[in-house]
Structure 1
Amino acid sequence: MENQDDSTKQFYLYRVALRLTPGRINTGYRDENHAVASDISVAEISDAGLDAVRYLNVHEAMGTLSLAVVPSAIVAVQCIRIPTSEVIIDDQPASVRAAVEGVRNATRKLRIAEEALSSIEPRVRRMMTLGMRPDPDSAAKRIGKLEQKYYRSWHDLRQHLASEYLPNVSAVIRRDFNDAVAGWRDENAEVFVQRYRRLASLLERPSQAIADVSTHAWRSLDGA
């Protein structure tokens, strides 16, 4: 979502059924610290006479053993859209409500200031903010400060959400998660909170996520 700039795309969570022939999995495992598994092509795996390669994951799930497979090894899938369309209606903690209000106030002040300079094209306004064009009444500089407060309010909201809704997730995963969802900023902070909580639940309650996927019918990929 972050590295590929895909925050606005629809994502899916898959459960995969594999058919792996004994002897067609690598002995031991590759260490991504020395050999990045994501660089393996299907042709390389097939040329080695393998259907799957085990590797020590140091990126997406640091410290775990993951599996790279050729497409023909996948015989069926189950999947759900993420985040789900569920609406969460329970009361929000006071810290989250305050952070949401902080975003609202910062957004409102920024939009009012921007409207006052709407006749000036953004490029020129940016040059005024940077001191490259005259800014007689310092209006452009004020917008610059308001933008900083706006982004800081969103950062604070994500931090409060992580503390409340990702208490059992490691600090590293929590940071990566917050960086990834930063692209979801919306004029309505409540929309962001809803989406954040629905996706965070996959990390906080993985057994429930697996159960949800399991309720969907298997889709065969090999005609079996």
Structure 2
Amino acid sequence: MGGEQRVSAWVASQRAKALHVGRYEAAVHNMLRRIRDQADQRSQFNLYQVRLKPSVVVREGWLVDPANFVGDVVLDEVCPPGVDVARYLNYHEDPGGLSLALGRNAIASVQRIAVPLPDTRDGGWVRDAVAALEGVSDTAAPATGKLALRMRPPSARAVLGRQLGASLADRLPVNLRNQFRSAAAFAEGEDPERWARRTSGLFDLIDDPTSVLAALDQQDPREV
């Protein structure tokens, strides 16, 4: 497919791309969007806190979102010589917020935690949800007639799980509700307690960011 020269050119093009760094809201929005659009419900996500070098030069003003249709930004196109960081109006994650396009050399250190956090503060909701889910059948009713040829109806447990997830979504800002419903979707055969803890943890990312950021601050910075 072109040999080493083609591979080297591809590597150079990848290294020329800017890194995207957004606010906390943008990170959560992007995670929920990926879960909905890319079927990443069971993927492990991480939240990063990035510290920039004190010497970085930030481009004056801000740009209209410069990303192409796959989200790539060529660093040299937004950060001319002598500039390390460019601010741009984000159209995709936390629409209307400002994000940064920068190169790796602008980063001093990073901190990371896995999200959602393993400990959820809303233990009451988790406990009640698990009890409700374990109280109904996880076996789907047998389909009859034409339905049997097309699909298997969901179990009572799966239906209840989706209702519980939707009830949490209704407590969130309108622009995040549909994405949260997708992220909190209950799959057939899923363990009720694992689902409930994960769903409550996702909710806490939006409803209680203070505790999440505190956990992030406690991590040892890792130099880049």
Question: Do Structure 1 and Structure 2 share a fold, with TM-score over 0.5?
Answer: yes
**1:26 & 1:190 partners in 2: Cα distance?**
48
Which residue of structure 2 aligns with residue 144 of structure 1?
Answer: 151
Q: Structure 1: which 5+ residue stretches go unaligned? A: 115-136
Q: How does 1:28-47 map to 2 (within 5 A)?
A: 28-32=61-65, 35-36=66-67, 38-47=71-80
Bigger Rg, structure 1 or 2: 1
Deviation at 1:36, TM superposition (A): 3.3
Matched, 1:174 2:174: no
* Sequence identity (%): 26
Root-mean-square deviation over aligned CA pairs = 3.5
Which residue of structure 2 aligns with residue 108 of structure 1?
Answer: 139
Which amino acid counterpart does residue 203 of structure 2 have in structure 1? A
**1:206 & 1:43 partners in 2: Cα distance?**
34
Which residue of structure 2 aligns with residue 207 of structure 1?
Answer: 210
* Paired residue total: 188
Which residue of structure 1 aligns with residue 11 of structure 2?
Answer: none
Higher relative contact order (CA 8 A, sep 6+): 1
Which residue of structure 1 aligns with residue 30 of structure 2?
Answer: none
Please list the CA deviations of residues 162-204 of structure 1 after superposition, one character each: whole Å capped at 9, or x if unmatched.
24xxx3x311113222223437665223321110111221211
Normalising to structure 2: TM-score of the pair? Answer: 0.67
More helix by percentage: 1
Q: Does the CA-based 8 Å contact 2:49-2:112 persist in structure 1?
A: yes
Q: How does 1:1-224 map to 2 (within 5 A)?
A: 1-19=35-53, 21=55, 24-32=57-65, 35-36=66-67, 38-47=71-80, 49-86=82-119, 90-92=123-125, 96=129, 100=133, 104-105=136-137, 107-110=138-141, 113=142, 138=145, 141=148, 144=151, 146-147=153-154, 152-163=159-170, 167=171, 169-182=172-185, 186-221=189-224
Distance 1:89 1:170, change over 3 A: closer
Distance 1:215 1:99, change over 3 A: same
Q: Structure 2: which 5+ residue stretches go unaligned? A: 1-34
